[in-house]
Amino acid sequence: MKVVVASGKGGVGKSMVASCLATFFHEAGKKVVACDCDVDAPNMHVWLGVKRFRVAKILKCSKKAFVKDEAKLLRCKLDPKVCKFGALKRKGASFEIDELLCEGCGACYMMCSDGIGMRTVENAEIRLAKTRFGFPLAFAQLYPGEKSSGRVVDEIVSFAEGIEHETMVMDAAAGIGCPLISSLKFADHVLLVVEPTVSGLSDLHRVLRVVKHFQREYSILLNKVGLNACIERKLRKKFSRKLVGEIPYAREVFACLNRGTLPLESAKLRKCFHGAFERLVDFLR
Ligand code: SF4
């Protein structure tokens, strides 16, 4: 069973919820593996108190162009404007490619394969750690300026699948781009974390289009309740059958953040997290 925790917007508490959910399943006696698929900005390891990790695999799923032969580039009369990303530059008779700007589209290579080469580069690493609760966490970190985050998500999920488990809790990247889509294709269920704000509502509709496109079962957890009573009423009315629970916008959440503990461990918050996750389990049956 794979549960993907997602949101159309960053900063709504998705990683916190994913970390609490993995811990909830672990406490309930399930064999859990947590998988952080937010490869641009992973932080489940922070919530789950990871002190040490080992690099399990270096990924090479990105390509970059390089200057192979300047003389041949001159003969090709390669115009740097062929690169729409501004990575290809010419200074007199010399060419250079800015690696951070190169998107690996291959346009320059198609125009002059004698002078330009394409090479595969290391773009991310997969890390494996034991959380302070005792269950494993697999997470990937994209290297600075690197791309192919969707493919990195494929790799991290395949890696996590190799770890013995009954339930995988995946923390997807915020938004509706490639990393989310790569996470969704593995999902048995999607838990959408929503905050009751104007942008939160708009982003929920956007992410729902993607979730529905892939015909995934979903439920909704309303976080930061107390921010906007009007939007909260709207969400309760519209998604009454999908809503698993509500987490208050409370000082205690920030106190947990400062202490480096999970809200699930707080006596004040435990009940609402447990209530929500128990309803989620009903959805999963
Ligand atoms: S591969 Fe594409 S992005 Fe990279 S330098 Fe060539 S044209 Fe520019």
Token pair in block for residue 110: 């198609």
Distance 47 CA to ligand 1 centre (A): 38
Whole-angstrom Cα distance, residue 144 to residue 142?
A: 7
Helical segments of the chain, H only: 14-27, 44-47, 70-76, 107-111, 149-161, 178-184, 198-213, 229-238, 251-259, 267-284
Query: For position 190, what pLDDT does the model report?
Result: 97
Residues 148 and 248 in one domain: yes
Read out DSSP for 48-92? TT---EEEEEEE--EEEEEES-HHHHHHHT--GGG-TTS-EEEET
- Mean pLDDT, range 46-71, rounded to an integer: 94
Residues 192 and 68 in one domain: no
Residue 219 pLDDT more than 90? yes
Residues 116 and 173 in one domain: no
Residues 207 and 226 in one domain: yes
Percent of the chain with pLDDT over 70: 100
Confidence at 147, pLDDT banded by 50, 70, 90: confident
Distance 103 CA to ligand 1 centre (A): 6
- Mean pLDDT, range 248-257, rounded to an integer: 92
Residue 196 pLDDT more than 90? yes
Ligand 1 near 59 CB (within 6 A): no
Ligand 1, residue 118: give the atom nearest the CA: 1
Among residues 121, 137, 171, the one where a domain terminates is 121
Residues 67 and 43 in one domain: no
Query: For position 93, what pLDDT does the model report?
Result: 84
Residues 249 and 196 in one domain: yes
Query: For position 4, what pLDDT does the model report?
Result: 97
Residue 72 pLDDT more than 90? yes
Query: For position 23, what pLDDT does the model report?
Result: 97
Number of domains in the chain: 2
Ligand 1 near 102 CB (within 6 A): yes
Query: For position 257, what pLDDT does the model report?
Result: 87
Residues 196 and 144 in one domain: yes
> Helix, strand or coil for residue 202?
helix
Query: For position 9, what pLDDT does the model report?
Result: 86
Residue 145 pLDDT more than 90? no
Residues 176 and 198 in one domain: yes
Query: For position 144, what pLDDT does the model report?
Result: 87
Query: For position 58, what pLDDT does the model report?
Result: 96
Distance 41 CA to ligand 1 centre (A): 25
Query: For position 139, what pLDDT does the model report?
Result: 96
Query: For position 205, what pLDDT does the model report?
Result: 94
Residues 155 and 241 in one domain: yes
Ligand 1 near 112 CB (within 6 A): no
Whole-angstrom Cα distance, residue 137 to residue 182?
A: 18
- Mean pLDDT, range 199-203, rounded to an integer: 93
Distance 99 CA to ligand 1 centre (A): 9
Stated pTM of the model: 0.91
**CB atoms closer than 10 angstroms to residue 143:** 15
Among residues 121, 141, 160, the one where a domain terminates is 121
Q: What is the CATH number of the domain that holds 207?
A: 3.40.50.300
Ligand 1 near 106 CB (within 6 A): yes
* Nearest residue by C-alpha to atom 2 in ligand 1: 105
Query: For position 148, what pLDDT does the model report?
Result: 85
Ligand 1 near 103 CB (within 6 A): yes
Work out the angle between the directed axes of helices 251-259 and 267-284 (0-180°, nearest 10). 100
Confidence at 189, pLDDT banded by 50, 70, 90: very high
- Closest by CA position to 152, among listed 62, 91, 30: 62
Work out the angle between the directed axes of helices 229-238 and 198-213 (0-180°, nearest 10). 20
Residues 115 and 133 in one domain: no
Distance 125 CA to ligand 1 centre (A): 24
Residue 285 pLDDT more than 90? no
- Among 89, 96, 97, residue to substitute to test ligand 1 (most atoms within 8 Å of Cβ): 97
* Nearest residue by C-alpha to atom 7 in ligand 1: 83
What residues make up the domain containing 218? 2-59+125-284
Distance 98 CA to ligand 1 centre (A): 9
Residue 160 pLDDT more than 90? yes
Q: What is the CATH number of the domain that holds 77?
A: 3.30.70.20
Residues 279 and 186 in one domain: yes
Which position has the token pair 């939007």? 231
Residues 149 and 10 in one domain: yes
Distance 151 CA to ligand 1 centre (A): 19
